[in-house]
A and B are shown apart, each in its own frame.
Chain A
Amino acid sequence: MRRFALIAVPYAWLLALFLVPFLIVFKISLSDTAIAIPPYTPTLDISGGWAAIKGFLSELDFENFVWLTEDDLYWKAYLSSVRIALISTILTLLVGYPIAYAMARAAPEWRPTLLMLVILPFWTSFLIRVYAWMGILSNEGLLNAFLLWTGLISEPLTILNTNAAVYIGIVYTYLPFMILPIYSALEKMDDSLLEAAEDLGCSRMEAFWLVTIPLSKQGIIAGCFLVFIPVVGEFVIPSLLGGSGTLMIGKVLFEEFFNNRDWPVASAVAVILLLILIIPIILFQRNEQKAREAEG
Chain B
Amino acid sequence: MKRFSAFNAVSLTLGFAFLYLPMLILVIYSFNSSKLVTVWAGFSTRWYGELLQNEAFLDAAWVTIRVAVVSSTIATVLGTMAALVLVRAGRFAGRTLFSGMIYAPLVMPEVITGLSLLLLFIGIGLDRGVLTIILAHTTFSMCYVSVVVSSRLVSFDRSLEEAALDLGCTPFQAFRLVTLPIIAPAVISGWLLAFTLSLDDLVIASFTAGPSATTLPIKIFSAVRLGVSPEINALSTIMIGIVTVGVITASLISKRATLRQQAEEQAAIRA
Contacts and interface: CB of A to CB of B under 8 A. Distances in A.
B247 A128 contact: no
Nearest to B105: A18
A131 B203 contact: no
Given A133-B22, A135-B37, A14 B139 contact: yes
B51 interface: no
B122 interface: yes
B171 interface: yes
A106 B12 contact: yes
Interface stretch (A54-62, A69-77, A114-122): A114-122
A interface secondary structure, majority: helix
Interface string B204-232: 00110000000001001100110110001
B111 A254 contact: yes
Interface stretch (B41-49, B238-246, B262-270): B238-246
A10 B142 contact: yes
A247 to B, nearest CB: 15
B116 A22 contact: yes
A35 to B, nearest CB: 16
Contact of B84 (A6, A38, A281): A6
Contacts, number: 235
A170 B171 CA distance: 47
Contact of A230 (B4, B20, B109): B109
B167 interface: no
Contact of A18 (B26, B101, B115): B101
B179 interface: no
Indicate the size class of the contact surface on chain A: 35 or more
Contact of B25 (A3, A136, A240, A270): A136
A146 B111 CA distance: 37
A135 B25 contact: yes
A267 interface: yes
Interface of chain B: mostly helix, strand, loop or mixed: helix
Contact of B142 (A13, A136, A258): A13
A13 B98 CA distance: 11
Instruction: Select the residue from B107, B171, B240 with max chain A CB neighbours within 10 A.
Output: B107
Contacts of B203: 235-236, 254
A128 B221 contact: no
A132 B25 contact: yes
Contacts of B101: 14-15, 18-19
A260 B243 CA distance: 37
A53 interface: no
A219 interface: no
A254 B218 CA distance: 14
Interface in B13-70: 15-16, 18-20, 22-23, 25-26, 29, 37-38
B102 to A, nearest CB: 7
B271 interface: no
A42 interface: no
Contacts of A118: 19
A103 interface: yes
Interface in B143-183: 146, 154, 171-172
A135 B82 contact: no
Interface in A1-47: 2-3, 6-7, 9-11, 13-15, 17-22, 24-25, 28, 38
Contacts of B2: 104-105, 191
B26 A6 contact: no
A172 B22 contact: yes
A239 interface: yes
A102 B12 contact: yes
B199 interface: yes
Interface string A113-147: 01011111101111111011111101011100100
A136 B12 CA distance: 22
Interface in A68-115: 95, 98-99, 101-107, 112, 114
A145 B40 CA distance: 12
Given A25-B119, A123-B247, A102 B105 contact: no
B261 interface: no
Contacts of A257: 115, 207
Contacts of A129: 22-23
B111 A141 contact: no
Nearest to B203: A235
B38 A135 contact: yes
Interface string B110-124: 111001110110110
Given A9-B81, A95-B18, A266-B115, A281 B200 contact: no
Contact of B26 (A2, A128, A230, A281): A128
A120 B2 CA distance: 26
B247 to A, nearest CB: 5
B3 A10 contact: no
Given A117-B19, A135-B228, A273-B112, A17 B9 contact: no
A65 interface: no
B139 A17 contact: yes
Given A124-B23, A135-B38, 12 more contacts: A2-B172, A38-B122, A101-B11, A102-B8, A105-B8, A123-B246, A123-B247, A125-B200, A127-B202, A136-B22, A136-B25, A253-B115
